[in-house]
Chains A and B, each alone.
Chain A
Amino acid sequence: MIKRLGAGVAVLWVAATASYVALLLAPGDTIDILIGDGADTPEIRAGIVAEWGLDRPEIVQYLSYLWRLLHGDLGRSYQLQRGVGEILATQVGPTAQLTLAAAATGVALAGVIAVVTAGRGRWLRGAASAAELVSVSVPPFLIGIVLLSVFSFTLGWFPVSGAQGPAALVLPALALGLPIAGVLGQVLRGGLERALEQPFAVTARARGLTERALVTRHALRHALIPAVTLAGWFTGTLLGGAVITEVLFGRPGLGQVAMQAVTGRDMPVVMAVVLLSAAVYVTISTLLDLACRAIDPRIRG
């Protein structure tokens, strides 16, 4: 467990270093890059030099950057004239809402599809696997566009944009959750079908278990193992997808912040978003790793 935490910290350290190196390697003067498209006055330049220690040797700059990160200081956006931490803090809420809702939608849909279709007739399984194929082959933003034109423009059931009220969350969560449901559903179904062919499934049937009990008591747990190992992909899809979804649905959130920062070349904000996403990844994959140990006691050894 301590090893696992150590690895997580190492990942964060490398992510911080990587974004710092990216900043140094970027063509042009570091000061110009940090200012980006923001206001450019001698006073601001002097402030940046002082804050980043640009007049000191590079190793000292790097260490003081890490030191500030350790204290939770993500730096300052020279375009928005605000602390980066403050900017992110105000925008975390809507993004968390969106990603959690999408994750729940995806996992729930995948579970239902897998349990209902595993080992069933050809047609049902064929339909499910076709739906899964399409859902992994359609770009996430296209799903969003289709949902928008059907449910907002044509039927008028849901608002087109914004983040007011639960109704505004439905379409974005679906757009982000459907591709997850597709991939996860496929993996779960495959896992269930493999488990149902194992000798222990024969033994369980020979005890008089019904197929449903066999799936819920035995096979599902086996099917969860490969699903949990998709943690990295899952987190990446959620975080990356959040940017696109927020832009498409005009929702406030970290994705919008990131997009504006990229367009405006606001490096401190971009670096902070990258770090934050690495932190989220590390947290989620550690949690899922723990879940995996709970599901499969064989790997405790």
Chain B
Amino acid sequence: MTAPALPRPPALLGRLVPAVVLVVIGLAVVAPWALTGADPLAADPVDALAPPGAGHWLGSDHLGRDVLARVVHGARHSISIGVAATALAVTCGVLLGLAAGLSPKWLDEALARSFDVLSTLPELLLALLVVAITGPGTGSVIFAIAVAQVPNYARVIRAQTFVVRRSGYVEQAVTFGRSRLAITGGHVLPNVLGPIPVLATIGLGQAVIAGSGLSFLGMGPQPPAAEWGAMLSEARNYLRVAWWEALFPGLAITLTVVCLTVAGRRLQRRFEGRTP
């Protein structure tokens, strides 16, 4: 017997690094105190704008707060906005997409047109409308991102439902004399819902970007809460003197999204390899 061949270094890198990063980020969301002992909100004017070093591993910000602590605790806000918005968008999108795909033609047409209209409004402008009415805050940001992303999911699910409903295997199931309900439950739903983990993983990355963008504009969690986008917004006034205040939250967002995208694409390849 031969030992299984080790994956080539790039493959190892592509699989291992995203996994480790995503685990660390998950830990930061669930148990930030496990990664840092410092208080993200404790200001210390004397210690302001200290460069990375022994006292503050990633430096301190303009109010003397520990950047590492803020980046770690910021994960909770940034990621949960993304997760909540994606969950909301996927749920509504799947329900609407299935409703359109399985409905009679006139209802399907009406739903499809409404997806079109919804996607006319860029996420950010939709968010402006929402925030203008409800005021800034985490809830507004989640709602705005979710509303903007619903049509994407709904469209994919609708198109997929169409393909599956007209597929050879559904037709074949009809010839076996299976009931409509059995065919929908046994063939249509499983094959339509299959790609959702892939879509949601990639969508989560984009939701994190959108959320940090809205927070950057001051529409998300309000100061002094630590949120990556909001941290960047404050940090841009100190770019000249404290690069670390901007670099690390920026790096955190980028790394999160890169890893989510890589993981999503990997899932996608595996999924596509599975279906002919």
Contact = CB atoms under 8 A, between A and B. Distances in A.
A/B: CB atoms within 8 Å of each other: yes
A19 B126 CA distance: 10
B232 A145 contact: yes
Nearest to A136: B261
Interface stretch (A64-72, A84-92, A272-280): A272-280
B121 A267 contact: no
Contacts of B123: 236, 240
Interface residues on B, range: 35 or more
Nearest to A28: B133
A78 interface: no
Interface in A264-298: 265-267, 270-271, 273-274, 277-278, 281-282
Given A274-B125, A277-B125, A141 B243 contact: no
A149 B247 CA distance: 11
B254 A138 contact: yes
A149 B246 CA distance: 10
A141 B120 contact: no
Interface residues of A, number: 54
A232 interface: yes
Interface stretch (B44-52, B91-99, B173-181, B209-217): B209-217
A139 interface: yes
A148 B121 CA distance: 29
Contacts of B131: 262
A98 to B, nearest CB: 15
Contacts of A136: 257, 261
A239 B119 CA distance: 13
B32 interface: no
Interface string B233-259: 001100110010010001001100110
Contacts of A248: 236
Contact of B128 (A25, A33, A148, A262): A262
Interface string B120-141: 1111111011011111000000
Contacts of B254: 134, 137-139, 142
A244 B213 contact: yes
Given A137-B261, A244-B217, A270 B122 contact: no
A235 B125 CA distance: 12
Contacts of A145: 232, 235-236, 239, 246, 250
Interface stretch (A8-16, A102-110, A190-198): A8-16
Interface in A138-180: 138-142, 145-146, 148-149, 153
A142 B124 contact: no
Contacts of A258: 125, 128
Nearest to A13: B117
Contacts of A259: 128, 217
Interface string A104-137: 0000000000000000000000000000011011
B132 A262 contact: yes
A235 B213 contact: no
A140 B133 CA distance: 25
B200 interface: no
Given A153-B240, A237-B122, A270 B261 contact: no
B171 interface: no
B219 interface: yes
B221 interface: no
B120 A137 contact: no
Interface of A: 7, 10-11, 14-15, 18-19, 22-23, 25-27, 33, 133-134, 136-142, 145-146, 148-149, 153, 232, 235-237, 239-241, 243-244, 247-248, 258-259, 261-263, 265-267, 270-271, 273-274, 277-278, 281-282
Interface of B: 113-114, 116-117, 119-126, 128-129, 131-135, 205, 209, 212-213, 216-219, 229, 232, 235-236, 239-240, 243, 246, 250, 253-254, 257-258, 261-262
Given A11-B116, A145-B235, A243-B125, 7 more contacts: A134-B258, A139-B216, A141-B229, A145-B246, A232-B119, A236-B124, A258-B128
5 tightest A-B contacts by CB? A240-B124, A236-B122, A137-B257, A240-B122, A26-B133
